[in-house]
Amino acid sequence: METQAMQVVSEFLTAVQQGNQAKLAASLHPNIEWDQPGSNRFSGIKRSSIDVFKMVGGMFQATDNSLALTDVKVLTANKNSVACLVHWKAVQANGGILDVYNIDVYTVENGQIVKAKVYSADVAQEDNFWLK
């Protein structure tokens, strides 16, 4: 179980880095629950892969496509749950800079991510960057 969960999440994160839309779509369950931290326009719980893609699309639009997953430092599993330490960077036309680590926890069932909970190392930075 742990091996499959690790593989699914590892492939998902690689797809994020490569912009592989087909792999991303295949990795997320249609009814995924995604919990994005903070008090900004992207925060809150998304209850479908469609809503997750809308959120991420909005993030890319807000950063002129500069949003990048620059590093995956730790990937560890406990049964079907996988935690990872990831680093994100982005810039905005107005000079805003995002440079933040997150700890993401993914739950995998039947080869797809069914739940994601994101913990930001700097929620204030994210709220300031993403705004309401």
Q: Is the pTM of this model over 0.85?
A: yes
Half-sphere exposure of 117 (CA within 13 A, CB side): 5
- 58 within 8 A of 42, measured Cβ to Cβ: yes
The mean per-residue pLDDT over the stretch 43-48 comes to 98
Per-residue pLDDT tens digits for 100-121? 999 999 999 999 999 999 999 9
**Number of Cβ within a 10 Å radius of residue 95:** 6
The CATH number of the domain holding residue 60 is 3.10.450.50
What range defines the domain where residue 84 resides?
Answer: 2-130
The confidence score (pLDDT) of residue 1 equals: 77
